[in-house]
Amino acid sequence: MAIQDDVPWRRVLEGTLGVPATEGNHVEVLRDGNTIFPAMLDAIAAATRTVDLLTFVYWRGDVAHRFAAALCDRAAAGVRCRVILDALGARHVDHALIEDMGAAGVQLHWFRPLVDADDTGNPGHRTHRKVLVCDEAVGFVGGVGIAEEWDGSSDDGTGWRETQLRLRGPVVDGLRAAFLDDWLEDDADLFDDRDRFPEQPCDGPTTAMVVRGESEEGWSDIAMLRRVAFARARRRIRITTPYFSPDDATFEALARAASRGVQVQVLLPGPNNDKEVARLAAARRYPDLLDAGIDLHHFRPTMLHAKVLTVDGDLGIVGSANLNQRSLQIDEEVDVVLLDTEVVARLDDQTDDDLRRSEQLSSQALDGAGASAQAPLRLLTRLIDRWA
């Protein structure tokens, strides 16, 4: 796949995805739960009309109580609060919090309940999106879950390493659409008299677009976005992802990029990986990736859960999607594409800092242990590809 160098990224992405970019957005890059959670809670507390929260993970810990209390407070004050929790991802939530939110007037829906006599669909197709929109004006997107695992800093190992965006401007409409796309599944009212659908301010410096992945058969727009980014790269591709299991086509796209002189860096969880099956899914590809000239790094201080992709210092992608089959084909996902060299530079600066706290892998280090693991890994391949 060859694209002329003088065609702007914006036109390439709009032409391949059919999604228009928007100008005039304000973008803030938030790092780790000790920064992300206060910003999200402040936005909820300041809401006067509407709060929409969509998440795959809502587990336990003090932060789970803080979010429930903030939502209950706003609902009691007459703010319409809507919450979507994935029935699989949030199954460990403290159900007393669910009862509290319901009693306060929070409208809470479970996405695709796991036990439903009328459900003939695939229970494996989940919503993995993480979106918060308050008063139709400020939006958040990224990988963070509402759980104690994130409630701290990767600097001192008290919390998982995460990246989240706080957004204002026209791009917020795309995040609301991602929420409503999943809200629609419950046959609920899409809006009421508290929805104003305001003209969004366009006084920010960033051009951005929202790309949604749907839980359907075949490749999603999330997959198309990455394939185009890898094909267009000329100097450097930087991938930060917690769950990495590239299919053959994705591997070939990265290998072709490396063969034409593009530096390809992949940053993955190290010793603090929270899912063994995901670690195996990544490890079985390590020898081929290294042989193709792709740099692999293990983040050491804590669990790495950020989902960030940058290309050539010009293109940034932050959202909920991992680089595995679940995100590219199976689950509902949402990413924000950033066409702003200053914002991308901030993402790259954070990656530089993460790399300083990481270990680069080598083919020699994989010898022995890697060879002994190949037989069981082959047996697990089908399971890993669908569930990592």
| DSSP conformation letters of 297-326 | EEE-SS-B---EEEETTTEEEEES--BSHI
Instruction: Flag whether pLDDT at 198 surpasses 80.
Output: yes
Identify residue 28 by its one-letter amino acid code.
Answer: E
- CA-CA distance, 322 to 308, in Å (whole number)? 9
The pLDDT of residue 371: 41
Q: Which two tokens stand for residue 336?
A: 């924000």
| CA-wise closest residue to 10 among 23, 26, 1 | 23
DSSP class per residue in 54-123: EES-B--SHHHHHHHHHHHHHHHTT-EEEEEEETTTTTTS-HHHHHHHHHHT-EEEEES-S--TT--S-T
Instruction: Flag whether pLDDT at 382 surpasses 80.
Output: no
The pLDDT of residue 281: 78
- CA-CA distance, 280 to 373, in Å (whole number)? 9
Q: Which two tokens stand for residue 253?
A: 């796209």
| CA-wise closest residue to 27 among 259, 240, 316, 353 | 316
pLDDT tens per residue across span 52-100: 999 999 999 999 999 999 999 999 999 999 999 999 999 999 999 999 9
Instruction: Flag whether pLDDT at 165 surpasses 80.
Output: yes
- Please say whether the beta carbons of 175 and 54 come within 8 A: no
The pLDDT of residue 315: 98
Instruction: Flag whether pLDDT at 34 surpasses 70.
Output: yes
Element (H, E) at 259: helix 248-259
What does the pLDDT average to over 106-125? 74
- CA-CA distance, 45 to 76, in Å (whole number)? 12
The pLDDT of residue 126: 94
Cα–Cα distances in angstroms (integers) from residue 301 to residues 151, 322, 355, in the given order: 15, 20, 11
What does the pLDDT average to over 229-246? 96
User: Kindly report the CA angle at 130 between 184 and 177, in degrees rounded to 5?
Assistant: 40
Instruction: Flag whether pLDDT at 51 surpasses 70.
Output: yes
- CA-CA distance, 357 to 354, in Å (whole number)? 5
pTM of the model: 0.93
Instruction: Flag whether pLDDT at 116 surpasses 60.
Output: no
| CA-wise closest residue to 267 among 244, 245, 233, 248 | 244
Instruction: Flag whether pLDDT at 244 surpasses 60.
Output: yes
Q: Which two tokens stand for residue 216?
A: 């359907």
Cα–Cα distances in angstroms (integers) from residue 327 to residues 65, 127, 239, 246, 354, in the given order: 29, 10, 15, 11, 23
